[in-house]
Amino acid sequence: MGVHDAMYVLGGKWKIYIITGLLFGPMRYSDLLRNITGISGKVLSRELKEMEINHLINRTVSSTQPVTVTYELTEYGESTKSIIGVLSEWGEDHREMIVKAK
């Protein structure tokens, strides 16, 4: 089942939000940290590493002083736009249905 594969790569609490952040262009580590509410540096590092291994994102180091690191979606990562798009659309269409169950 393809759903399992998708969940393996995109599942968990943060990956969707990281991709959303990168959807409009490359971002630096600190930008992502500021942009994604609630995530900690440790978790962001780990998630980015996994996503790099999975070829969703590229990591680029600029040898400036101090060092800057930017992350951007690969072509493969961009292909998740369809998923984010549907999620976003569905969420907006059904906002009034949401009940705080947790």
Partner DNA sequence: CTGTATCCTGATTGATACTG
Partner DNA sequence: CAGTATCAATCAGGATACAG
Instruction: Provide the binding-site residues for a second copy, judged by CB under 8 A.
Output: 1-11, 13, 16-17, 20, 49-50, 53-55, 76, 79-80, 82-84, 86-95, 97-99, 101-102
CB of 69 to DNA, least distance (A): 4
Handedness of CA 67, 68, 74, 79 (dihedral sign): positive
Task: Collect all residues with Cβ–Cβ distance below 8 Å to 74 and sequence separation of at least 6.
Answer: 55, 56, 57, 58
Task: Collect all residues with Cβ–Cβ distance below 8 Å to 48 and sequence separation of at least 6.
Answer: 18, 29, 32, 57, 59, 71
Tokens representing 62? 């600029």
Q: Which is nearer to a second copy, 11 or 41 (CB)?
A: 11
Q: Is 25 in the site for DNA (CB under 7 A)?
A: no
Q: Which is nearer to a second copy, 61 or 98 (CB)?
A: 98
- Which of 38, 63, 82, 99 contacts DNA by CB under 7 A? 38
